[in-house]
A and B are shown apart, each in its own frame.
Chain A
Amino acid sequence: MNAIPTYAAQTPEAGLRAALKSDRPDIISTISASGLKGRGGAGFPTAVKWNFAAAAQAARKFVICNADEGEPGTFKDRVILMEHPDLVFEGMTIAGKAVGAREGILFLRGEYAYLRGGLEAALARRRERNLLGPGILGSPLTFDIRIFMGAGAYICGEETALIECLEGFRGEPRNRPPFPVNTGFLGFPSVVNNVETLAWAACILANGAPWFRAFGTEKSTGRKIFSVSGDCRRPGVFEFPLGLTVAQLLAEVGGEDAKAVQIGGAAGQCVPAKEFGRTIAFEDIPTGGSVIVFGPRRDMLDVLRNFLEFFVDESCGQCTPCRVGNPKLLEGVRQLQAGTCSMAYLKELCALGETLQLASKCGLGQSSPNAFLSVVENFREEIMGRMAAHA
Chain B
Amino acid sequence: MLMTERERMAAEIRALAGQLGHDRTSLVPILLEIKRKYHRIDSYAMQVIGDLLGIHPVEVHSVVSFYAFLGDRAQGRFVIRLCRTLPCDMQGKDRVMRQLENDLGIRFGETTADGSFTLEWANCMGMCDQGPALLVNDRIYTRVTPETVHDILGECRRVFGVHAAESKEVRFA
Chain A residues, Cβ within 8 Å of B125: 111
Query: Contacts A153-B66, A166-B25: A230 and B123 contacting too (C-beta < 8 A)?
Result: no
Q: In the complex, how many angstroms separate the beta carbon of A185 from the nearest chain B beta carbon? A: 8
- 11 A-B residue contacts at CB 8 Å? A72-B85, A72-B87, A74-B124, A110-B32, A114-B138, A151-B69, A168-B24, A236-B129, A306-B86, A314-B123, A316-B66
- For residue A148, CB closer than 8 A to chain B, the reply is yes
A253 to B67, CA, bound (A): 35
Q: B67 and A75: CB pair below 8 A?
A: no
Interface centre among A148, A306, A316 (most CB of B within 10 A): A306
Q: How many residues of A contact B (CB 8 A)?
A: 50
Chain A residues, Cβ within 8 Å of B129: 75, 227-229, 235-237
- For residue B6, CB closer than 8 A to chain A, the reply is no
Known: A69-B126, A303-B86. 11 other contacts (CB 8 A): A74-B128, A75-B128, A110-B67, A148-B29, A152-B67, A154-B123, A168-B23, A230-B90, A262-B86, A306-B89, A310-B85
Q: In the complex, how many angstroms separate the beta carbon of A187 from the nearest chain B beta carbon? A: 12
Q: In the complex, how many angstroms separate the beta carbon of B145 from the nearest chain A beta carbon? A: 17
Q: A151 and B67: CB pair below 8 A?
A: yes
The A-B contact count (CB < 8 A) is 124
Chain B residues, Cβ within 8 Å of A152: 67-70, 122
Chain A residues, Cβ within 8 Å of B62: 170
Q: In the complex, how many angstroms separate the beta carbon of B50 from the nearest chain A beta carbon? A: 11
A114 to B127, CA, bound (A): 13
Q: Which of B24, B31, B32, B128 touches A167 (beta carbons < 8 Å)?
A: B24
A298 to B91, CA, bound (A): 12
Chain A residues, Cβ within 8 Å of B130: 235
- For residue B140, CB closer than 8 A to chain A, the reply is yes
Query: Contacts A73-B86, A154-B123: A168 and B67 contacting too (C-beta < 8 A)?
Result: no
- For residue A231, CB closer than 8 A to chain B, the reply is yes
A20 to B89, CA, bound (A): 47
- For residue A260, CB closer than 8 A to chain B, the reply is no
A227 to B127, CA, bound (A): 10
- For residue A70, CB closer than 8 A to chain B, the reply is yes
A75 to B131, CA, bound (A): 12
- For residue A258, CB closer than 8 A to chain B, the reply is no
Chain B residues, Cβ within 8 Å of A167: 24-25
- Decide if the interface of chain A is mainly helix, strand, loop or mixed: mixed
- For residue B116, CB closer than 8 A to chain A, the reply is no
A2 to B165, CA, bound (A): 44
Interface centre among A69, A168, A292, A314 (most CB of B within 10 A): A168
Query: Contacts A165-B28, A168-B63: A151 and B70 contacting too (C-beta < 8 A)?
Result: yes
A298 to B155, CA, bound (A): 35
Query: Contacts A151-B69, A230-B90: A75 and B63 contacting too (C-beta < 8 A)?
Result: no
A250 to B63, CA, bound (A): 42
Query: Contacts A72-B124, A114-B140, A228-B129: A151 and B28 contacting too (C-beta < 8 A)?
Result: yes
Chain A residues, Cβ within 8 Å of B32: 110, 149, 151
Instruction: List which B96-131 residues lie within 8 A (CB) of chain A.
Output: 122-131
A72 to B129, CA, bound (A): 11
Chain B residues, Cβ within 8 Å of A179: none
A168 to B86, CA, bound (A): 31
- For residue B47, CB closer than 8 A to chain A, the reply is no
A150 to B29, CA, bound (A): 9
Q: B87 and A111: CB pair below 8 A?
A: no
A75 to B130, CA, bound (A): 11
Chain A residues, Cβ within 8 Å of B123: 70, 72, 154, 310, 313-314
Q: Which of A75, A262, A313 touches B126 (beta carbons < 8 Å)?
A: A75
- For residue A71, CB closer than 8 A to chain B, the reply is yes
A75 to B124, CA, bound (A): 9
- For residue B74, CB closer than 8 A to chain A, the reply is no
Instruction: List which A208-248 residues lie within 8 A (CB) of chain B.
Output: 227-231, 235-237
Q: Which residue of B lies closest to A151 (CB)?
A: B67
Query: Contacts A151-B67, A151-B68, A168-B24: A292 and B86 contacting too (C-beta < 8 A)?
Result: yes
A247 to B63, CA, bound (A): 45
- For residue A113, CB closer than 8 A to chain B, the reply is yes
Q: Which residue of A lies closest to B124 (CB)?
A: A72
